[in-house]
Structure 1
């Protein structure tokens, strides 16, 4: 297998999950509005499956929430998008080097890969050589009989481990953020969420 696995950076604008999926599936980094709509339509169409117990909020409330470009996606959204595209989505977590596989058990015969740093999703792609233009990227990989994608899987895990060694992740339990609006410092995801709920401020910058 020729080439090298690279992390394709997706813009940090609260829609990175959707734009990373758009890139690996369609080579399009601006599909967030369309994919948010796909998720809202899917959830709205099956209120029994997508109940408050699953979503953490009422079905209609969730649909309005996910269409807001300020809101972040996670596991629920990735599993819906795996089914929408009919492909597995592997998300590599840099901090733990764990791989979460969405669409598993559906016998999909292709897989795309993302990498997650605790706050942000980027896309993973095979490129023929370092510095090659993005149009040469391969982002869809064939799932083999053993349900792996062959040598590419080891490359993805090695890339996640390399990023972990470089500490290219955000420890969401202990990272420090400053509110971009009122400049108050908060520690960890919990405090950031509490501040956002109390003030409506969602513009945080990491600082050390």
Structure 2
């Protein structure tokens, strides 16, 4: 199979995880409201599995929280969406170059890939050539008997390593942010979260 791995940038609107999944699964990067509903329905239908201990909040609180378009998704949401689509989701972390695989214990026969930069999810796709239109993207890959996606897997790993070398990630422990509301500077994700909880401000911009 000829082609190159490309990063399809998803808008930064707090729903990037859902829209990146929508892009790789359905070539639709505006699926966040629908996928948030899917997750809330899944969680509310199984309060035993999705307990307060698992979710970090009560089942009811979590369902209300995930439907809020300002809230970000993460590992719990990716594992539910892998099940929903019946495909593995590989999430590559640029900073660590690690790949977290969701749905791998279900023997799904296909996989899609996302890229995570510490704060934001984008979609990974196979394009026939640099600059080719998005409609030519391949985003679903067959999983072979050895549980890899063949040559595409090493292409993806090399792409992630190159993004790491170019420092295309946010070091969330040490980055500096400015609050867009009150202009105060904070360092690292921990301080940003504390500031957001104390003030209700959620609009941060990175600055150096």
Same fold judged by TM-score > 0.5? yes
Tell me which interval the TM-score lies in, with the shorter structure as reference length: over 0.9
Q: Name 2:115's counterpart in structure 1.
A: 115
Q: Does 1:80 align with 2:53?
A: no
Secondary structure in 1 aligned to 2:68? Answer: coil
In the aligned structure 2, how far is the partner of 1:200 from the partner of 1:38?
Answer: 27
In the aligned structure 2, how far is the partner of 1:149 from the partner of 1:40?
Answer: 30
Q: Name 1:145's counterpart in structure 2.
A: 145
Q: Which runs of 5 or more residues in structure 2 are unaligned?
A: none
In the aligned structure 2, how far is the partner of 1:46 from the partner of 1:187?
Answer: 38
Q: CA deviation at 1:182?
A: 0.5
Q: CA deviation at 1:181?
A: 0.4
In the aligned structure 1, how far is the partner of 2:173 from the partner of 2:56?
Answer: 20
Secondary structure in 1 aligned to 2:101? Answer: strand
Q: Name 1:179's counterpart in structure 2.
A: 179
Q: CA deviation at 1:7?
A: 0.4
Matched ranges for 1:26-105 at <5 A? 26-105=26-105
Q: Does 1:192 align with 2:192?
A: yes
Q: CA deviation at 1:201?
A: 0.6
Secondary structure in 2 aligned to 1:64? Answer: helix
Cα deviation 1:112-166 (Å, max 9, x = unaligned) = 0000000000000001111000000000000001000000000111111000000
In the aligned structure 2, how far is the partner of 1:155 from the partner of 1:178?
Answer: 36
TM-score, with normalisation over the residues of structure 1?
0.99
Secondary structure in 2 aligned to 1:193? Answer: helix
In the aligned structure 2, how far is the partner of 1:77 from the partner of 1:150?
Answer: 26
Secondary structure in 1 aligned to 2:104? Answer: coil
Q: Name 2:134's counterpart in structure 1.
A: 134
Q: CA deviation at 1:105?
A: 1.1
Runs ≥4 residues deviating over 4 A:
none
In the aligned structure 2, how far is the partner of 1:184 from the partner of 1:46?
Answer: 42
Cα deviation 1:31-56 (Å, max 9, x = unaligned) = 00000000000000011100111111
Q: CA deviation at 1:24?
A: 0.1
Q: CA deviation at 1:89?
A: 0.1
Q: CA deviation at 1:25?
A: 0.1
Q: CA deviation at 1:197?
A: 0.6
Q: Name 2:25's counterpart in structure 1.
A: 25
